[in-house]
Amino acid sequence: MDKIYLNQMQFYGYHGVFSEETKLGQRYIVDVILETNLKEAGRTDDLNQTINYAEIFDVVKMVVEGPPYKLVEAVAEEIAKQILQRFILVNACTVKVIKPNPPIVGHYHSVAVEIVRNRNEAK
């Protein structure tokens, strides 16, 4: 299966278990991999035969900057669900949500969750 990558999309959201997270918010980084067939798009050079990256970006932004969730797992799940419901050419997607600065005492780069969902799981 062919793949489209949208890497390191950055947004500001208000997700988290702790009240400071939902009040102050924080930066989120999202990676999305879309599994699709790109043969016709490559052959015809026609945007209608592929997935519009700007529209995917807008969907991810809507979820991350929208109503808060407690868990980044829920954010990732909603992104995958929205993509699979809205874009018929996407057969499966991988969504990685990175939280660079969670309220954890210690030294680390970030925390993240990554999920893989296919069309059958988008209901």
Write down the domain spans for the chain. 2-121
CA of 26: how far to CAs of 62, 104, 112, in Å? 15, 14, 14
Average pLDDT over residues 71-96: 97
Would you say residue 20 has pLDDT above 80?
A: yes
12 φ, ψ (degrees, to nearest 5) = -120, 120
Which one from 39, 96, 99, 123 is the annotated catalytic residue? 99
Portion of the chain with pLDDT greater than 90, in percent:
83
Q: Order of strands across the sheet with 2-13?
A: 2-13, 26-36, 92-99, 111-118
Please indicate whether residue 39 is annotated as part of the active site. Answer: no
Model confidence at 46, pLDDT cuts 50, 70, 90, reads: very high
CATH of domain 2-121: 3.30.1130.10
Would you say residue 38 has pLDDT above 90?
A: yes
Portion of the chain with pLDDT greater than 70, in percent:
98
